[in-house]
Amino acid sequence: MRESVVTFQNVYKSYPFYHHVRGVKNFLFDFPRNLNKIQNQQYEALRDINFEVYRGEKFGIIGHNGAGKSTTLGLIAGVLKPNKGRVIVRGRISPLLALGAGFHPELSGKENIVLNGVLMGLTRREVQQKMDEIIQFAELDDFIDQQIRVYSSGMVARLGFSVVAHLDPEILLIDEVLGVGDIRFQRKCVKKMREFKGSDTTMILVSHSLPSVVNLCDRALWIEDHEVRMIGNAQEIAENYCKAAGVEMDLNPQKPVVNTEVTNVIF
Ligand SMILES: Nc1ncnc2c1ncn2[C@@H]1O[C@H](COP(=O)(O)OP(=O)(O)O)[C@@H](O)[C@H]1O
Ligand SMILES: [Mg+2]
């Protein structure tokens, strides 16, 4: 039987909605009502979301900007809490959610690798064993002892990906943060992610690159207007998404992403 590692049960997530109140006088004139409006207005980012991700599965999340993809990953990572419903996660999370998130600017690259590894639940020794591989993959040899704050955004992105991909991830969460890396590095990342195919690592990938989703993922979730629009086979979902957007695209999963056009590997 397939073991589910991520379960969403009727999940709702709202953010406070900040109103622009015109004029202090107006605001004070009807103070209780205005205060109530500010405090209670919520913006619903996710509405009644239900899905499961199984161990070892490569799972894509697609949808337009603002649909709720990053919110979904934030809930899985535990950095956000649902307002209603349940999010159940079984396993160690390796999140790559935002550029530089989880990195301390005053610490060196090396120190940040150790910090992240330990926060992900590995021992110092386990992190040390992977250190060279992580540095090599991130191509930061000369900079690795420098403080992160002097890194370019591309360097931060390379280190971020390298850390989560090499520290023995159980549940890997990737949120389109690779867009900042150059094309050669993006290809390297896609190649690395392909290595997880057939492994026990569960990968949840938010990406605007449909060819990457089709190529890397077994199943996909399409979120539209904060709700589940469709869930199923990655290729089918991507094709339906294209159709709805009126875009034609060759989405053959056999086509290796690393050999296709530049647009196909952009995250
Ligand atoms: N911290 C926040 N406060 C208020 N609104 C937010 C916050 N984060 C996201 N939102 C809103 O929630 C919706 C979903 O956001 P997000 O999950 O980031 O979408 P996606 O990743 O699909 O582009 C968007 O409309 C966004 O503006
Ligand atoms: Mg997002």
Query: Is there an atom of ligand 1 within 6 Å of 43 CB?
Result: yes
The per-residue pLDDT for 109 is 97
Residues of the chain with pLDDT under 70: 18-22, 178-180, 253-267
Quote the pLDDT of residue 20. Answer: 61
180 CB contacts (<8 Å, ≥6 apart)?
99, 153, 154, 156, 157
| Phi, psi of 10, deg, nearest 5 | 45, 55
* pLDDT in the model for residue 178: 65
In the three-class reduction of DSSP (H, G, I as helix; E, B as strand; rest coil), residue 94 is classed as: strand
Ligand 1: distance of its center to the CA of 56 in Å?
A: 28
Looking at residue 64, its pLDDT comes to 95
What pLDDT is recorded for position 267? 34
Residue 217 gets the label, from left (phi > 0), alpha (psi -120 to 50) or beta, of: beta
Name the residue at shortest CA distance from atom 3 of ligand 1.
15
Q: Which residues of 44-74 are buried (b: 16+ CB within 10 A; e: fewer)?
A: bbbbebebbbebbbbbbbbbeeebbbbbbbb
Residue 239: in which H helix or E strand, if any?
A: helix 234-245
Smallest CA-to-CA distance from 225 within 37, 28, 10, 45 is with: 45
Which ligand 1 atom is nearest residue 65's CA? 23
Residue at 52: amino acid letter: E
For residues 133 and 163, what is the distance between their CA atoms, to the nearest angstrom? 9
With a 6 Å cutoff on the Cβ, whether 17 touches ligand 1 is: no
Among candidates 125, 73, 126, which has minimal Cα distance to 101? 73
Nearest to 114 by CA among 158, 159, 63: 159
Residue 99's pLDDT is 81
Atom 1, ligand 1: residue with shortest CA distance = 15
| CA separation for the pair 89, 68 (Å, rounded) | 19
Per-residue pLDDT tens over the stretch 182-226 = 888 888 898 999 999 989 999 999 998 899 999 999 999 999 999
Q: Which tokens sit at 144?
A: 């690795």
